[in-house]
């Protein structure tokens, strides 16, 4: 019987294995740290977004203001955006519109029945891009944001 120096027979070089595990530990630690930073930065990012949208609405002469987010458990996940409350009591979905291969910020204001009342482009570039979008694509987005679930949650109180 041949004596082997290593207890694990499939590891030929223990130093190489040790170095690989150290690098794996560093990489996984950095990924965990980045995930924690992303998670804890969400309220700050939300506050910056609300302030930016309110400045754009003020510059355009709109008297409504975005107040706060609708909690995640009550909001419908629709991709690149989030539900907010307007100061006049309506709901607004602030999202990234994708048109002609470009991304630009936009807001969809909801009626009381959950249908889209209007789209508000957020910025000069968004306004130019929104004018180039066909009405069929805007109708697709309108149907996508139809939100009877949010209205049902508000009415039921649950």
How many domains in the chain?
1
SS3 157: coil
Q: pLDDT of 37-60, one tens digit each?
A: 999 998 898 899 899 999 988 988
39 is a domain residue: no
- Which pLDDT does position 28 carry in this prediction? 97
pLDDT at 35 over 90: yes
Other CB atoms within 10 A of residue 147 CB? 22
On whether the pTM is more than 0.75, the answer is no
Question: Is 104 contained in some domain?
Answer: yes
In a domain, 105, yes or no: yes
Predicted local distance difference test score (pLDDT) of residue 36: 96
Structural domain boundaries enclosing 113: 66-156
Residue 109 lies in a domain: yes
Considering the domain boundaries, does residue 41 fall inside one? no
pLDDT for the residue numbered 158: 46
pLDDT at 75 over 90: no
The reply to whether 27 falls in a domain is no
Residue 11 lies in a domain: no
């Amino acid at each position: 019987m041949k004596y082997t120096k290593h207890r694990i027979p499939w590891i030929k070089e223990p130093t190489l294995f040790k170095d690989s595990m150290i690098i794996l530990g560093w990489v996984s630690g950095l990924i965990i740290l980045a995930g924690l930073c992303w998670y804890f930065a969400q309220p700050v990012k939300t506050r910056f977004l609300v302030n930016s949208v309110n400045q754009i609405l003020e510059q355009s002469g709109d008297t409504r203001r975005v107040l706060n987010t609708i909690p995640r458990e009550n909001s419908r996940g629709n991709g690149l955006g989030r539900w907010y409350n307007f100061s006049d009591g309506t709901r607004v979905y602030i999202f990234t519109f994708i048109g002609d291969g470009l991304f630009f910020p936009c807001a969809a204001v909801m009626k009381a029945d959950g249908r889209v009342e209007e789209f508000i482009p957020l910025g000069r570039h968004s306004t130019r891009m929104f004018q180039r979008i066909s009405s069929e694509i805007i109708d697709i987005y309108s149907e996508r944001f139809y939100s009877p679930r949010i209205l049902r949650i508000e009415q039921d109180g649950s």
